[in-house]
Structure 1
């Protein structure tokens, strides 16, 4: 068992060293992306998400509504992250038939509209269910 573990360790170390050797020539152009992502997250995205969470926690007191709104915000952020490269600049790779010729801003708008329509519908259903439950509790007393 020790021999197998040692062999696997040596194979993993050799693979990591080979990958590191291949990465070194590309480290110059890659370094801003490797450093910029975590810095952007820590200085912009995380504090903004925290402030939005604090504001929502104070403005929306019902847990179910807060959960639904949080779902909508997370789904919207995911759609925006996926669409950002397509909206920001034209594709740099050879075109994939059918992909670059789409109307990406319209697709993003439709996706966001569907997400927020689903959130609004869920909020309406939750409100109706809560009112029915409250009226049943007051009727039985």
Structure 2
């Protein structure tokens, strides 16, 4: 699926808008994610913190896991956008990158934004060039 420029902007805007719903009482660092599925559906997610920090879930995983509950698989993901109020482009954490390897194709576009609204295009493979992708590695 070719992603059009207006779809990229819309997806980034949806990630930016949803981040305001993040539950971040400890870090005060809201992150939003929006995933475009090939069906045209967009699923959003936010980071949700917990005083036991290991129980915190990131925006990217929240959105991807919701997609799984709706029956989507890795071949269904068209693109991911991530937004935060950062100077530089927001980068997914290593756990989210590993989940993307499992739940997305390597060539899935990942659009990273910054607080100024700039958009950087990478792929899952760019984020995890030497991915651990099977139990046979």
TM (norm. structure 1) is 0.23
More helix, by proportion = 1
RCO higher in 1 or 2 (8 Å CA, sep ≥ 6)? 1
